[in-house]
Structure formats: structure tokens, C-alpha cells
Amino acid sequence: MQRNARRLIAASAAVLIATLGLPLATTSAEESSAPSVLRVGVPNDLTSANPMSLRSGSDWNVATIQYDMMWMFGNDDLSAQPGLAESCDPNEDKTEWTCTFRDDVLWSDGEPFTSQDVAFTFQLIIDQGISTYSGYFTPTTTFETPDDTTLIWKSETPTNAPLVPPWIYIIPEHVWGQYADGEKVELKGVENIPSVTTGPFTLTEVNRGQNWTLEKNPNYWGDEPNFDEIRFQLYTNQDAMAQALKNGEIDVATYFETSLLPSLESDPDITVQRNVSDWWLNLAFNFGGQGPNSDPLPALQDKTVRTAIAMAIDKQGIVDKAYNGAATPGTSLIREVPAQWHYDVPEEDLIPFDPDAANAMLDDAGYKRGDGGVRVDPATGDPLVIRMPISQETGGALTAGQLIVGYLDEIGVEVKIFPVNEGKMYSYWNQGDWDAYIWYWTGEPDPDYQLSTLDSKQCGNLSDGCWSNPQYDALFAQQEKIVDPEERQPVVYDALALSYEEVPSIALAYPNNVEAYRNDLVTNFTPVPGDNGYLIPNYNNIGMVTVQPASGADSAANSSSTGMPAWAWGAIGAAIVLGVVLVARRGRRADDDEG
């Protein structure tokens, strides 16, 4: 009986190992010849390896590691730096740009990279209407490639787009050309495993809901990476990810919940990196117009009501309680990085946290308290009851929503919250059947994309709640035509100041992203942007090139044959008793255009 039990355990372990895609323990001789592996823990699954259909944070991380853009984001300030492109020179009115590319780049499959690959990528985005990237082009943008190292970008109107730089991953025409004349759904459905890239690594293996592996690109044109492979391990439980880091089962992890900061920071072998995040928590109001189901609360059309709500919300309280202090209170529509485009609202123009003043404002506007202390709209006679969906997959959103219920109760506004998943949030967003919601925004280093979300023309597309303001629309259109950044900045600031004053939405908080690594196992990350930037690539892939094993680190710890981690043995025990259930959580706000 005991022998049979051991056989059962061994068999169950072998099955689970195969299911989880985990390596079996190997001999020291095998370890000595095994490739060096950077082991990365993440809480988000890889949902797409297709650059034309990226969704989750892991999707973007993996794409950035593999693919080059025309220009690179600079390590310090995200300004355009030479990458595949070496130069881009405009004509006098900036309607034509001539860009020169490197002549020594090969794709990972050995085919030569040329300017035709760049032109193909851009034209594919225009022809297929890939909205994630299409904002860099106008309907009349054209491209010419007189030779293999030259691209001529032509526009009927002045543009600075070639030097923004365009956040577009360049793909090989000889691989993707077969999809150019097909349907968008076919293009977005391409698996793209294994990938063909010009970046330092290529994606070679994906086990959905478990792990994925990238291998060093032998043809990479830049500095050779110090690791042979990067293996991402999915953890759907943040405590398990933190414990794996403490145990040395992974070298680095990202997107930690801020509640884990005390535990991580107390370990001398762990270095914590707090990033200035590329996303922020946003409360948006609905103004209606998305479709036949759109039925927002009429009182929210009144700027007085929106301003009073903003005054009643304790943003510092949200920072402290939703993010354990690892955030800053939100102000304007564009986050704090890059600093050039973040509008720092003057103190005299800040909407203060002042519930008493908010109550007085609503009293003066005729919103008297009715049953249960809930105010009544003098125009409709309806109580001020806000239906508020909340993305429960957005860090801190639910806690913030629960706090806001209490904050607004103090001013006689009732809030009914509905915590839902990302799919349901998209449904609310598209149909307009809500009054206000809490979700998040993530933007680009250039302000145009984020500013566009409040443009009237974006109702039913990028706009949260179909706010419409002719003055804002004019400022948005004006800044789009200005190519000199110094001349453009005050117009961008005017648009941001107006949107802050009119309160179509409220930037609640700019959270920090929390990453951590084992300083006894790995070293020499290059954070981007600047010292407080991301370790796991978000803007460029330099960090995955420079990171290396720490001096004196156990060589077996960073090999591909280190045996099975402790968490997996625990999973085996649970599997024997309960069976194996694999759950992959997915979700991040992204392009939802599938057709």
C-alpha cells in the first residue's frame, strides 16, 4: 500500500509537472551547460503575442522585449533616440520627412531588415484601422522607400509624428505580408509563436495560464544580452509571487500590490523599485450619447454638481488607504511622466478637499436634501443617486470606490457601486448605461493620445462619457498642428487646465508600480525612465540587455534546469487531494476593436 501510494504521488507529480510546464531536477553536469535564465514573476497572463492585438500588461512587456520601434524611447526622459532609425530630417514645412535606417540589422530568422519593413508596418496599420497605433497617421499619410535604408514619410499637413516617437513595433513584411489583404480579425488572430523580431529576444514558447519563454536573438544588432533566456512565470496569487521571490525561485517580479511593500522591504536580499507608473486611477462622468441604452443621471450635466463631488473626495485618503501611500493624489489628465506634458495645477486653481464648501455649493444651487438625506435635482425631482461600475481588476479601484461612497454621502449624494470584471466594464463603456465609473487610463509619452479622449469626435470610441466642449475641441485641434514642442506646451496646458476646471472626469491617484528583485541573484538593471523607472521593459528593452547575474550568485539558480520550485510541490499536494484547476486571470484596458 505504501509503495502504491508513493507511485501515485510520483505519477501525480509527473502529470502536474507536465501540466505546469515545469523542468525536472537535473544533474550538476547538465546544470553547468544549461543556458542562463532570468526568471520573472508576473500577475498578468500573456493574452496575445501579436503586436497588432496587445491587451494585458504582460503582452506589452513581451512585445517591448522583442520588437524595435523606428526610434527608441530614451532611457532618461523618453525622448526619441536612434534605434532602427539613425536620422529623420524634415522639409521646411514638416510635411515630408526623410528617415535613414541602419544597414546592419537582420531579423531573427536571418532575413535582412529594410525600410520596406517600416513602410509595410505603417501601411498595414492604416489599411486595417488598428486604432492602438493609427493616431500617428492621417488618412492621407503616405510612405516611399527609394532604397533599403530610406523611408520618406509624407503628410498633407505639418506633422512631428516621426519624432514623437511613434510607439509602433516594426514587424517583418516577409512574415506578415500574407495578412495584408485579409480581414482585420484574421490579422489580429495570428498566434505569432515563435516570433521573428529585430530585438534582443524572441518568444519561443507559451504555456497559457502558466509561463512563457523568450530566447536570445542571435542576430541582434545591439549589445549582447547577459542572459540566454527570459522565463516569465504567472502568479495569480500575489502572496505566492512574493514568497517565490523570497525563496529565490524567481529573480525579479513586477506589478506587486502595495500591501506587500512592508514584507518585501524588510528582506535584505530584496531591492524594491517604486516606479512612477504609466497609468492612473480615473473617475469619469457620463454625459450620454453612446447609444440607445445610454441613460446617465441628468444632474451630472451640471458643472456645479461635478465640482462639488470633486471637492468631497479625499484623494490623499485614497492614496493612503487604497495604495498604502505608494501613490500621489491625481490632478490633471496626463500623469507625471514625462514631466514636459504634465500640467501641475497652480495652487490657487486646485479644487480643494472641502466637504463643507461642497455642501454649501449644492445648497446654493437648489439641490435640497430629501428622504434619507439624499439631495434632489431641482430640475427633475429625481434623487442624486449615482450608479457607479468599478473595475475590480484595476489595483486600488474597489477600495477607492468604497471610500467615495462614504465621501459623497457626506454631501447628500448616494452612490451605488457595481464591482465588475474588465469585460463587463467594456460593456458599460460602450453602451453608456452608467452615471460614473472608476477605471484607469494609461497613456503615451506624447500627450496627443490622452488629450484625444476628451475630444467630442471620440464619443463612442476613446471617450469615457462623451463629454463635449467646443473650446476644448479647438485647443485639441490647435495643439495637433504645432510641431515645435516649446510652442505646443502652453496650448496643451490650456487644454489640461480647461478639462480640470470643467470636471468631465477626476484623476483620483497616480499610483506607483512596485517591482522587486533579488539583489544577491541579479544586478545591473537599467530602469526607464530615469532612476525611478521600470525594471521590466515598458518603454524600451535596454533593461533586459544590461541585467546580469550578481557576483557570487549560485549558477544553478539562473539555469533552465533548476528543478521544481517549492510552490509547485505545494500545488502537487493540493492536486492529489483536490485535483488540478488552472485559472488564468486576464485584463487590462486596451484596444477593444476586434472587427
Residue-wise pLDDT for 12-38, tens only, equals 333 333 333 444 333 444 445 789 999
DSSP E strands in 140-239: the ranges are: 142-147, 150-154, 201-207, 211-216, 229-234
Residues 363 and 393 in one domain: yes
CATH number of the domain enclosing 176: 3.90.76.10
Residues 346 and 435 in one domain: yes
> What does DSSP say about strands 252-256 and 37-42: parallel, antiparallel, or unpaired?
parallel
- Identify the bridge partners of residue 101 per DSSP, sorted by sequence position: 85
Domain boundary among the residues 460, 479, 512 is at 512
Residues 362 and 448 in one domain: yes
pLDDT at residue number 32: 53
Q: How far is CA 340 from the centre of its chain?
A: 20
Average of pLDDT values for 410-425? 94
Q: What is the pLDDT of residues 292-348, one digit of tens each?
A: 889 899 999 999 999 999 999 999 999 999 999 999 999 998 888 778 899 999 999
Domain boundary among the residues 470, 488, 512 is at 512
Torsion angle of C-alpha atoms 113, 118, 124, 129, degrees rounded to 10? 140
- 283 located within any domain: yes
% residues pLDDT > 70 (the chain): 87
Q: What is the pLDDT of residues 457-493, one digit of tens each?
A: 999 888 999 999 999 999 999 998 887 889 999 999 9
Residues 308 and 244 in one domain: no
Residue 167 pLDDT exceeds 70: yes
Residue of 549, 586, 557, 590 lying closest to 245 (CA atoms): 557
pLDDT, averaged across the chain? 87
Number of domain units in the chain = 3
Residue of 212, 210, 145, 205 lying closest to 173 (CA atoms): 145
- Identify the bridge partners of residue 369 per DSSP, sorted by sequence position: 375
> What does DSSP say about strands 385-391 and 414-420: parallel, antiparallel, or unpaired?
parallel
Residue 397 pLDDT exceeds 70: yes
Residues 308 and 382 in one domain: yes
Q: What is the pLDDT of residues 264-298, one digit of tens each?
A: 999 999 999 998 777 899 999 999 998 888 989 99
Residues 158 and 208 in one domain: no
Residues 101 and 132 in one domain: yes
DSSP state, 369? B
Residues 260 and 291 in one domain: no
Domain boundary among the residues 512, 532, 549 is at 512
- 590 located within any domain: no
Q: At what angle do helices 2-20 and 566-578 cross, to 10 degrees?
A: 120
Average of pLDDT values for 234-238? 93
Residues 465 and 339 in one domain: yes
Provide the domain limits for residue 316: 279-512
Residues 446 and 374 in one domain: yes
Residues 285 and 419 in one domain: yes
Number of residues that this document lists for the chain: 595
Residues 413 and 454 in one domain: yes
